[in-house]
Amino acid sequence: MTDTVMIDTVRDALGYGGAETAIVDIDGATVTFEALRWQVDRLGAEFAGCDIGPGDRIAIVVPNGPVAAIGFLAAASYAAAAPLNPKYRESEFAFYLEDLKPALMIVTDDTSEAALAAAEESGVPVASMSGVLGSMTLGVEAEAGVIRRPGPAEPGLFLHTSGTTSRPKLVPILQRNLARSAANIATSLMLEPADRSLNVMPLFHIHGLLAGLLAPLSVGASVVATPGFDAFAFFRLLETFAPTYYTAVPTMHQMVIDRAKRRSERLDCPGLRFIRSSSAALPAQVLVDLEGLFGVPVIEAYGMTEATHQMCTNPLPPGQRKIRSVGLPTGIELSVIDADANAVPVGQAGPIAIRGATVVRGYEANSEATRAAFIGDWFLTGDQGYLDEDGYLFLTGRLKELINRGGEKISPLEVDDALLNHPAVAQAVTFAVPHAKLGEDVAAGVVLEPGAEIDERELTEFVGTRLAAFKVPRTIVFLDELPKGPTGKLQRIGLSERLGIGPW
């Protein structure tokens, strides 16, 4: 595939899609491909009128839904999009705006006062999208400018890493990264114009932007742009809009399963073709439960921001899918390496390194982090795993999350899986607790199934029949819900302190 830019990838779909539906709002309003193309170009002209073009960043602080999707497509097609979580506090907005230095911030009437106050304090111009869906305007008073479009090597998207253990790092994602990733995902999922994505992922996250929005649009498929994941509304959306797939993080899938157990009505979603999971490891029991609930394949993929989302995925039938694996590389090279950056033998675990057309070249204004992330042209994902004889990747955990108990390395994912095998356990999160002699020890938090009863000793004994003694949690805490970040990921690091457990 030759280098291309995001606007061309989407424009091809916008052109041949014509009067077909591109974006659907949950209130039933729709935007055709023809109207979406017109809308993106109109906003591009307004950016040009403000002397904003390729290389300029446009912060997008808009609640999830069609307007956020259109704002992203326009900003990424004519400048560089920088979507931010609309629920940030003012201090957080101040940090991200200072780091981004955007030429403009797009808002709506629903945007928080915190965002507006931070923009004013930072001196960032603000423009509000208003009007009828598919025919919206920024309402800016500006002279007509020269409309310029970015090239393949110019940035199309700026996102920050999560910053769980350090200051968030700014990731510039190039136009060609976006175009290649959208094409890779669409190919691996066999997406066609007849497909429809139910996008429940946030549109300030790479997962929702690429797998939920850009990949389906790039082939002329449609997207139901929801306000975000809502377990109570989820089944109604499935039945109303008949998507062919949805993609989400494992904690969302677990909530779907939990909600299904509370429903008395029969589930009716005949159009569903598959379910996709990414951005964190999917427990095997959750995959089995999802397939039992929906009767369609559950496809686990491996993605991260610095790889423009997808790196690996399990194939759809008739390809071979392996439970507990995140599948085969898609459009990149992947290697499991040792301390000297040499590939390790099949079946041996080690750090995962990637390179290829969707992998970014580093972090902005952070040469130290960039040097630490690369060995030559190989990017270190921060995960540990192993490859089997067929080239399928199996994750054993985040390197920073591995528990080092007196020199024994324990994968939290393995302990999660053992806990989830108990019928009383609905959700589980394993984490490290500081220990005076061992360095770290193992603890876990669990959410029980509705009406289930089990005590800590019984559950500990159950896990002890499945894992070596040193891997069994020393303590298990029963929780009403698991700690999750804004994108639905489990938060393990620092959990012992937040729960008041240890040091031991």
Residue 5: its pLDDT value, please? 66
With a pLDDT cut of 90, the percent of the chain lying above it is: 73
Q: Is the pLDDT of residue 339 over 70?
A: yes
Confidence band, pLDDT 50/70/90 cuts, at residue 141: low
Other Cβ atoms within 10 Å of 69 Cβ, number: 26
The pLDDT of 54-83, averaged and rounded, is 96
Tens of pLDDT along 213-242? Answer: 999 999 999 999 999 999 999 999 999 999
The pLDDT of 338-361, averaged and rounded, is 94
Tokens of 452: 């289930």
Residue 162: its pLDDT value, please? 67
The pLDDT of 69-84, averaged and rounded, is 96
Q: Where are the beta strands (DSSP E) in 324-481?
A: 328-329, 332-336, 350-356, 374-375, 378-387, 393-398, 403-405, 408-410, 425-435, 439-448, 475-478
Tens of pLDDT along 299-316? Answer: 999 999 999 999 999 999
What is the Cα 103 distance to its own chain's centre? 26
Q: Going from the N-terminus, what domains does the chain have, and what CATH number goes with each?
A: 6-294 (3.40.50.12780), 403-499 (3.30.300.30)
Confidence band, pLDDT 50/70/90 cuts, at residue 10: low
Residue 402: its pLDDT value, please? 82
Question: Could you give the CA distance from residue 83 to residue 192 in angstroms, rounded to a whole number?
Answer: 27
Confidence band, pLDDT 50/70/90 cuts, at residue 348: very high
Please name which of 25, 221, 71, 42 lies closest in space to residue 135, comparing C-alpha atoms. 42
Please name which of 306, 326, 489, 490 lies closest in space to residue 380, comparing C-alpha atoms. 306
Question: Could you give the CA distance from residue 487 to residue 492 in angstroms, rounded to a whole number?
Answer: 14
Residue 167: its pLDDT value, please? 77
The pLDDT of 490-500, averaged and rounded, is 86
Q: Residue 220: what are its φ and ψ, rounded to 5°?
A: 85, 10
Please give the C-alpha separations between residue 398 and each of 53, 82, 378, in angstroms, as whole numbers. Answer: 38, 26, 18
One-letter amino acid for residue 320 of the chain: Q
Q: What is the DSSP letter of 61?
A: -
Decide: pTM greater than 0.85: yes
Residue 1: its pLDDT value, please? 44
> 226 near 255, Cβ under 8 Å?
no
Residue 439: its pLDDT value, please? 83
